[in-house]
Amino acid sequence: MPEAQIPPRDRDAAIADVVEMIVRQCAPAEILATLCQWLEPGEDSQAAFYLLEADSFGVPLWTMAASSGSFGPIAHLDPADLSRQLLDSSDQDADCLLQQVDDDLWVRHLYSGIGEMVGLFVIASSVRPDPLQSKRIESVCHLASLAVEHRNLLDELAWQADHDDVTGLLTRACFERLLAGRLNTRFGSQALLVVNLDRFRVVNEVLGHSLGSRLLRHVGSRFRDCLPVGCVLARVGGDEFAVLPDGPHTPEMAAAVADRLLRALAEPISVDEHQLFISASIGISCSTRESTRESLQREAYVAVYHAKHSGKGRWMCFHGSMAATPPERLEMEKRLRSALVRCEMLAYYQPQIDLSSARLRGAEVLLRWKPEGLGIISPASFIPLLEETGLIVEFGRWVLREACRQGQKWGSRGVWLRLAVNVSAIQFMNPGFADEVETALTETGFPARLLELELTESLFVGDYARVSTVFRRLQRIGVTLALDDFGVGQSSLSHLQRLPFQRLKIDQSFVRAMADSGSCPPIIENIIRLASGLGMSTIAEGVDSPTQVEALKQMGCDEAQGYFYSMPMPAEEFERVWAIREARTA
């Protein structure tokens, strides 16, 4: 504590000096020490201030900010116990609000301007303070409260500037300052880890932003608990965290830190009544002598991108061959935003065949993208980007309307087909989705009974009441509801019993296993029996061989689609190959 300057005896001058110290933002300890000495408690007395502060976990702590003597805190005094006695005591001095809690202890609470207790003033004296000293104590306590409140406010503003209000972790701006400082002063390689939560946007959209924020707090807490001492952890984006390991790090050492972060998310996270599984993709970059903050961050984000597109839930270290990818991704996102306006999106159709009669029953409508001057781009390249950016809602709306338009066009020529349209969880939970379905059917004239909406199991992580409401509305409209990729997600029998699905799609990974193993996986037969017991039909996707067709037929599967029958194709080609060749099918 800096040595305090005793203000003049003149009361007005003393107050002026202390107010000046407050304005200069001096430490409260310095101001309080000055005030203690100004009181001149006497040789046999001691005055002391105790402040109520908080440690790094938010637990209130009593600390002595200043004393009139050099003896430290008043001997054997427990501020917490003293405060309780003070609140229970009715012996209060009306002039200066001093309370006597012991034969030789006189105590006063210090309050902020909003009535929040910030500390205690204690004077240990066998003699009761006289009226003049009591008035002086009142002035001292008022100034002390101002000083403490002023410093607390400055500390709070400084904390808010550097800490995220959701997780309590460092902000991006603070983290970048620390990173730049380390690169300027450190010898050896500095590692940077950027952690991006996988599919957090789906959780946010389906369960709501409030629950998403609580999930982020849990994730931040798990990361903080698993990291080695000395690591710096920050939240640098909506669903992104960053870590600076302490000390020089090789890629192998940084990878060990990344493994800790991935293991921290291995167990489900309980938020309200939900058990949420969340994974993360981690990008690692290690500095060289030429690295700047910007280049190190850019490399880490490149590595994150590659980790995500390599299957998610993993880490990858940056290397030079990755450098060109993010600009390509940014260019893809830019072109996607104008793709609908430029009429670059196409609807392709893959036939769905009745296994018992081998006749065409319907088609799945699949989105394709043909940018100007380029060939057809694989949906595996742009569908994840549509989901990440939220564009999936707008593009899904286009597919829905295009399917209804084309279905009605074929129907007007005498060929009515059931058309299945994929609907993402984000699109389904978007307000007004059921209205969009009804509008598309009404404006095109396509029969609702021939429109099938394929929903994924990720929908089950959402608000069940809201999901159920949309389901009932779609049921009233009259569309068919199918559960896509059944068996690989978060399905439960209760969901199938409570929600009005009419069809289960057997995921192609199970069908593919038939070819790989040469036998039929028991899970396929179990899914078919389950669906039959619940009054649902089944369709298998990814069927590529006559052996698979025959096995599925023997197990009682109703329909199939896959390359054995046809690849997806544009409407004109589909019409030529299938619709015109078939007689009336519905």
- Model pLDDT, residue 463: 62
Contact 99, 93 (CB under 8 A): yes
Dihedral sign for Cα atoms in the order 463, 468, 473, 474: positive
Residue 418's closest CA among 454, 392, 443, 458?
454
Structure tokens at 121: 């003033």
336 and 317, same domain (yes or no): no
Domain presence at residue 462: yes
Tokens of 434: 């059921």
CA distance 287 to 254: 12
Within a domain: residue 3?
A: no
Q: Which two tokens stand for residue 130?
A: 């006289």
In a domain, 390, yes or no: yes
Tell me, yes or no, whether 451 and 552 share the same domain.
Answer: yes
Structure tokens at 13: 């001058």
Residue 167 resides in a domain: no
From start to end of 398-456, where are the E strands? 418-423, 451-455
- 422 and 558 share one domain: yes
Residues 214 and 131 in one domain: no
User: Residues 363, 365, 366, 368: is their CA dihedral positive or negative?
Assistant: positive
- Retrieve residue 430's tokens: 């978007």
- Give yes or no: residues 484 and 541 share one domain: yes
Supply the CATH number for residue 109's domain: 3.30.450.40
Last residue of a domain, one of 106, 137, 162: 162
Whether residues 74 and 37 fall in one domain: yes
Give CB contacts under 8 A, 24+ apart, made by 515-521.
515/544, 515/545, 515/547, 515/548, 520/551, 520/555
Size (the chain), residues: 586
Regarding whether 349 and 305 lie in a shared domain, the answer is no
Assigned domain for 2 exists: no
Co-location of 410 and 496 in the same domain: yes
Same domain assignment for residues 301 and 343:
no
Looking at the fold, whether 265 and 354 belong to one and the same domain comes out as no
pLDDT at site 265: 92
| pLDDT at residue 362 in the model | 94
Q: How far apart are CA 525 and CA 170, in angstroms?
A: 52
Number of domains making up the chain: 3
Same domain for 202 and 340? no
Alpha helices (H) along 372-412? 379-389, 392-411
Instruction: Specify whether the CB–CB gap between 571 and 406 falls below 8 A.
Output: yes
- Residue tagged 């310095």 (tokens): 30
Domain assignment of residue 196, yes or no: yes
Residue 356 to residue 359: CA distance in whole angstroms: 8
Which of 302, 323, 344 is at the close of a domain?
323
Q: What pLDDT, on a 0 to 100 scale, did the predictor assign at position 585?
A: 45
Domain final residue, candidates 113, 138, 162: 162
Looking at the domain assignment, is residue 59 inside a domain? yes
Q: Name the β-bridge partners of 453.
A: 421, 481
Listed residue (585, 508, 496) closest to 552, CA to CA: 508
Query: What's the CA gap between 558 and 480, in Å, rounded?
Result: 16
* Distance (Å, whole) CA 103 – CA 107: 12
Range of the domain at 45: 11-162
Q: Which residues are paired to 64 by β-bridges?
A: 50
How high is the pLDDT of residue 553? 92
CATH of the domain at 513: 3.20.20.450
Tell me, what's the pLDDT at 70? 44
Q: Of 290, 239, 182, which is closest to residue 174 (Cα–Cα)? A: 182
Do 431 and 339 share a structural domain? yes
For 465-499, letters b (16+ CB in 10 Å) and e give eebeebbeebeeeebbbbbbbbbeeebeeebbeeb
Q: Say what the pTM is.
A: 0.55
pLDDT at 82: 66
What is d(CA 364, CA 573) in angstroms, rounded to the nearest whole number? Answer: 15
User: pLDDT tens digits for the chain (586 residues)?
Assistant: 344 444 444 555 555 666 666 555 556 666 666 666 666 555 566 777 777 765 545 555 666 666 665 434 555 566 667 666 655 554 444 444 677 777 677 778 777 777 777 777 787 776 777 777 777 777 777 777 777 777 777 777 777 788 888 899 999 988 998 898 888 776 567 899 999 998 888 787 777 888 889 999 999 999 999 998 889 999 998 899 999 988 767 788 888 899 999 999 988 888 887 888 888 999 999 988 778 888 899 889 889 988 887 778 889 998 776 755 556 677 788 888 889 888 999 999 999 999 999 999 999 999 999 988 788 887 877 887 888 778 899 999 999 999 999 999 999 988 899 999 999 888 888 888 999 999 999 999 999 999 999 998 767 655 667 788 899 999 999 999 999 877 554 455 656 777 888 999 988 878 877 765 556 668 888 889 888 888 899 999 999 999 999 999 999 999 999 999 999 999 999 988 885 555 444 4
In a domain, 575, yes or no: yes
The number of CA neighbours under 13 Å toward the Cβ of 133 is: 16
Partner residues linked to 345 by β-bridges: 369
